[in-house]
A and B are shown apart, each in its own frame.
Chain A
Amino acid sequence: MIRLNVNGQDHDVDTDPDTPLLYVLRDELGLNGAKFGCGLGQCGACTVMLDGQAVFSCLVPAAVLPGRAIRTIEGLGNNAVQRAFLEEQAAQCGYCIAGMVMRAQALLEHNPHPSEQQIRQSMAVNLCRCGTHMRILAAVRRAAAQTVKS
């Protein structure tokens, strides 16, 4: 059994210690937000927050999770970042979007007023194939203009 804290709640899950957080979230806890994209830390579709940092959940094994705070898009509660993405209609297929939102959330918690270049650099590890980048950037700028509660 491994005890995890996800979105403020403790969960005891029976999983192999090498199971990546991604599969713990999806298959043990039934959370859909984090997506499998590459399993290699190259695309960011699986991005969640771990102790306030954006991480690739496909690379973090369950063994290192006890005592650490995991945050997923399900735990944001329709916050300013999600609302900004909705207002900008910043999705096409949307498969990458939960990861984008979590990456943006982590950025804005650390740097509430990022420059355009800082936004682009920070989002660089998350890939989008539909070409929704301009709207995603606009959504992050819009969210930055609001109060971002962590």
Chain B
Amino acid sequence: MSAELSRRGLLALGGGLVVAFSLHAEEPARPGSLKEIPRLDSWIKVGPNGSVTVFTGKVELGQGIKTALLQVAAEQLDVPPERIEMVTADTMRSPNEGFTAGSHSMQDSGTAILHAAAQVRGLLLAAAAGELGVAIETLATADGMVKAADGRSLGYGQLAAKLDLHVDAAPNSVVKDPGTYRVMGRPMPRIDIPAKLTGSAAYVQDLRLPGMLHARAIRQPSVGAKLLEFDTAPVERLPGVVKIVREGNYLAVVAAKEWQAIKAMRALAAAAKWQETASLPEESTILQTIRSLPTRDIPVLTWKADAGAPERRLQARYTRPYVMHGAIGPSCAVAQLIDGTMTVWTHSQGVYPLRAALAALLRMPPEKLRCIHVEGSGCYGHNGADDVAGDAALIARAMPGRPVRVQWMREQEHTGEPYGAAMIAEVEAALDADGTIVDWDYGVWSNTHNRRPTAGGLLLQNAALPDPLPVPPPAPIPMPEGGGERNSNPIYAFPNARVVSHFIPEMPVRVSALRSLGAYLNVFAIESFMDELAQAAEADPVRFRLRHLRDDRAKAVVLLAAEKFGWPRVAKGQGRGFAFARYKNLGAYCAVALALQVEHETGQIRLGRIVAAVDSGQEVNPDGIRNQIEGAIIQAASWTLYEAVHFDRQRILSRDWSGYPIMPFPAVPESIAVHIVPRPGQPFLGTGEAGQGPTAAAIANALRDATGVRLRDVPFTAPKVKAAIGV
């Protein structure tokens, strides 16, 4: 068989739906990650006994991707899910799909597996047709078998033994008719949850290798702190201590047991003398500082068209502070150096980029490193996962042969992770006499949202080591995805608009990717301002949005959320808020309607009913989509009501959960209902980051409705709300 599957051969398969992703005859693009990784056996292997292994370069972060990808493969292959083994990111086994980020996993890996599985099934059918001497149209697949009309059947194992799957996927596939789906589009219990509910080993934190040692780093207390000479001998004599690792300003301790390592770490931290400088900005004026830093201005869009005469102009400014990922489980990694080869077990979102970064940091050739993903605590973006792998690898290098486990302490996680950037959006718009928006002017100020370890110089340890690698300059993420400018392009049809991203290269505080990147602030700003404009136009906020929307799928989501909420009905004393966005204006659509009440004595916001509607394209695991949206709503509500990283001129002060409170159980909403718009056969749109922006704006809008006060600077802490409502 030729390396390229014949398109005609696949088209000849009856009963399926042909999805053509490209009409260019010359070089048709393959769908999803098949573009970069076209070989079918990079994704799917069928063993002679019929066993099926599916490979993905994406990783389970608690978002349920492993289960969703399994459903896709099971559906298109016609193999029961429980008979498929899923292999996630491992630099020795899996395809290189970069980072698991940006709500891309279903579009990239889901699409690749959908098509690879459909094509493998097609090849199995064709092989069976030849073997049985019957027309392919007369064959059916089920339960890992090809079945002929006359009752004969052949197992996938028998057929696969004669098939070469080391071939490039065809650009087009015959995927099943979505109307016949039995696994995709139906709720499936997550395959990773049972182990987590019984105390089975489920996380990298639970990894115990023979002879494993425990280590802790003693972090520089502030950026650029210099480690002065001090006596380490008393710590070396502590029970269980095996070694103290010191390289320049990098300091760590290795012990036989974890608690011994922690006690030794504390003793070392108490003994170590540091020379610190005031390297952080003043917190109370941080937003002015950011607004005044030099920028690189990137035009996002300019729209010009005839429109009604502007009658009324409004302007506003919206901000957010630095926000923490705040994993419940501090970052952890295990590393082992054997015969010059380093293996790192990590919960990084990108094992291939991490391998390259670690290779640079350790001055080792990348082929001498293997990074294997093992689940960790939820990360919500670039947190300490990669950096703790840097610790484990550096320390393991000093302990050849022995596996070394490092888990950060709570204060290390809180103060050591890169934060989501503080941001500012300024917007001005004009309404005509009919209350239609005729002009829109929007600017957003932000640092980069991507300092992921694409180079060794970006790992936390680099600056502490004696011979640091160069640090690449920060770069914006170009639209249409965008970093700080993500979702700065309004989805609404404004005749005249100008949007500019003011990219700030200088980073006063270490920042990187936090779930939804700039979309949280931009959607918060746009959707708050839409309510302000609706109010000025004396229009219902939902109708006002619909009037400015042209996208039918957007309208459907807005209407569904409003209908299920019973908009505008709320209980007496409550305020109602609505907000909507399409993530990146190319991902999932999500609308949020909510009710809230303010405790006037304290200023505490009490969230009531929350209703969301979402269109993620073809749904794979509807319960997974609901779980992700519920999580997005609660996490974003926590950002919006509670969260800001505090610091003085030297150090981060938000060192634990008392210094960085997040939403506790008594404060979660009364209820959250998530409604999914079914879109059978449509491309996957991803889900994980669709709900954050709309949640923030819906809260601000409901707060305005409840109290008459418009807040534009998150977080809306109880004291801030109390001061604003003036009671």
Contacts and interface: CB of A to CB of B under 8 A. Distances in A.
B522 interface: no
Contact of A38 (B61, B64, B192, B657): B657
B410 interface: yes
A93 B197 CA distance: 11
Interface residues of B, number: 62
Given A42-B658, A93-B61, A134-B672, A36 B330 contact: yes
Would you call the interface of chain A mostly helix, strand, loop, or mixed?
Answer: loop
B198 A40 contact: no
A35 B330 CA distance: 10
Interface in A81-131: 82, 85-86, 89, 91-98, 101, 117, 119-121, 123-124, 126-131
Given A27-B257, A43-B657, A32 B199 contact: yes
A133 B665 contact: yes
Contacts of A78: 198
Given A23-B258, A42-B657, A91-B197, A129 B326 contact: yes
Contacts of B201: 32
A126 B330 contact: no
Contacts, number: 172
B328 A133 contact: no
B630 A131 contact: yes
B139 to A, nearest CB: 37
Most buried by A among B196, B407, B409: B196
Nearest to B212: A27
B441 interface: no
Contacts of B604: none
Contacts of A121: 665-666
B380 interface: yes
Interface string B366-391: 00000000011110100000000000
Interface in A6-59: 15-16, 19-20, 23, 26-27, 30-33, 35-40, 42-43, 45
A99 B47 CA distance: 40
Contacts of A32: 199-203, 205-206
A129 B515 CA distance: 12
18 contacts: A19-B259, A23-B258, A32-B199, A38-B656, A38-B657, A42-B658, A73-B197, A74-B198, A82-B197, A85-B193, A86-B194, A93-B329, A129-B327, A129-B662, A133-B665, A134-B634, A134-B669, A134-B672
Interface of B: 61-64, 189-190, 192-194, 196-203, 205-206, 208, 214, 239, 257-260, 262, 326-330, 375-378, 380, 407, 409-410, 623, 627-628, 630-635, 638, 656-658, 662-666, 668-669, 671-672
Given A95-B376, A135-B630, 17 more contacts: A16-B239, A20-B259, A36-B407, A38-B410, A89-B190, A89-B623, A91-B190, A91-B197, A92-B627, A92-B628, A94-B192, A94-B193, A124-B664, A129-B326, A130-B631, A133-B668, A136-B665
